[in-house]
Amino acid sequence: MPELPEVEVTRQRIAPLLLGRRIACVETTGDSYFFLTKPAKLRRALPGRTAVALDRHGKYLVVTLDNRARLVLHLGMTGQLFGGGVTSVRLLSAAARASLAPEAQPVFRPDSHTHLRLRFADGVPDILFRDVRKFGKVFLVAEGEVNPRLAKLGVDALRATSGDLFPLLRRRHTAIKNVLLDQSVIAGVGNIYADEALFLAGVRPLRRASRVTRAECERIVEALHQVLRRSIETGGSSISDYLAPDGNDGGYQDERRIYAREGEACRRCGGRVRRIVIGQRSAHFCARCQH
DNA sequence: ACCGCACCCTGAGCGC
DNA sequence: TGCGCTCAGGGTGCGG
């Protein structure tokens, strides 16, 4: 699932395919809540525009256009953004994969889950946004318009300090895990990195936020920076659907210490990794290493 | 102001 | 083989 590192890797790899190129044509699927801006409006408004910047705010990608409008993308749970011409068996359905020669690497063709396609001049690779579950989002923000979804985002997780976080923890009586996932507190942290950071910091995910000490808060922020940076370095985590824009898996899933390791041995003490549910989401922890 | 929960969606994996 | 069920989860919005 795309969290800050996966979105950042996507940003870095999509930028050279996007920046400075004039959009010639836009293809979309039909109306759905995936499109917070009507797809017909996107098809009308985007051609002729050139992207001048590609930024990331938390898990949002923000494309600034030459008319100062912004095209905003969120990958949701299963969103994949990649350049045209990508070859990857991972992008095929299980059925299509099964009928393929083992070493074949067919070029991906836009399918019914490819909701947005930006096309450029002839011969320039296009950019595809695919999202099977449609939890992702696409919308346009006019120049000067304040978008509430972007406005309420907290400090980006890579820039967050314990000075940002600790005062907020004092006021919250819910589990620390819930607060780390709250994008209005710290933007960019999702389920994987929240669990990883809490494990490294030695704090149980169910601990009430208001009972986290200042020293623990500092360890949590430090651990978040460590896991997020390392994941970006290794290309992100490909645990369920995430693929880097070149169609390949990231590498961080192999470095996971706790997430989705229920029943396996804790990498620090050898104890059994436990899984519980907090706020409708799975949380993983080691009862011996986390207090 | 804060908290918990239902909901949006679809493919994978399971039991029968 | 194939059906139907459950599960996964980011973010929003609701009711308490």
Q: What is the distance between the alpha carbons of residues A125 and A41, in angstroms, rounded to a whole number?
A: 23
pTM above 0.95, yes or no: no
Chain B positions with a protein C-beta closer than 7 Å: 1-13
Q: What is the distance between the alpha carbons of residues A139 and A147, in angstroms, rounded to a whole number?
A: 10
Which of A60, A56, A63, A62 has the alpha carbon at shortest distance from A74? A60
| Closest nucleotide to A279 by C1' from CA | B4
Instruction: Write the pLDDT tens digit of every residue in A194-203.
Output: 999 999 999 9
A99 pLDDT above the threshold of 60: no
- Helix, strand, or coil here: A272? strand
Catalytic residue list of A: 2-3, 59, 281
Q: What is the distance between the alpha carbons of residues A1 and A191, in angstroms, rounded to a whole number?
A: 9
- pLDDT at residue number A213: 95
* Length of chain A as a residue count: 291
Instruction: Write the pLDDT tens digit of every residue in A11-46.
Output: 999 999 999 999 999 999 999 989 999 999 999 999
Q: Is the dihedral of CA A189, A193, A197, A203 positive or negative?
A: positive
Instruction: Kindly state the DSSP code that residue A12 receives in the 8-state scheme.
Output: H
In angstroms, the Cα distances linking A143 to A50, A66, A71 are 15, 10, 11
Q: What is the distance between the alpha carbons of residues A103 and A82, in angstroms, rounded to a whole number?
A: 21
Helices and strands counted in chain A (H then E): 8, 12
Q: What is the distance between the alpha carbons of residues A136 and A75, in angstroms, rounded to a whole number?
A: 5
CA of A272 to C1' of B15 (A): 27
Element containing residue A234 per DSSP (H, E): helix A214-234
- pLDDT at residue number A236: 79
Which of A130, A118, A115, A150 has the alpha carbon at shortest distance from A242? A130
pLDDT band for position A1 (50/70/90)?
A: confident
Q: What is the distance between the alpha carbons of residues A58 and A147, in angstroms, rounded to a whole number?
A: 15
CA of A48 to C1' of B12 (A): 41
Q: Which residue is nearest to nucleotide B6 (CA to C1')?
A: A280
CA of A212 to C1' of C15 (A): 29
A93 pLDDT above the threshold of 60: no
Do A169 and A176 form a contact (C-beta atoms < 8 A)? Answer: yes
Instruction: Write the pLDDT tens digit of every residue in A133-148.
Output: 889 999 999 998 989 8
Give the mean pLDDT of A33-62: 95
Cross-strand bridge partners of residue A281:
A278
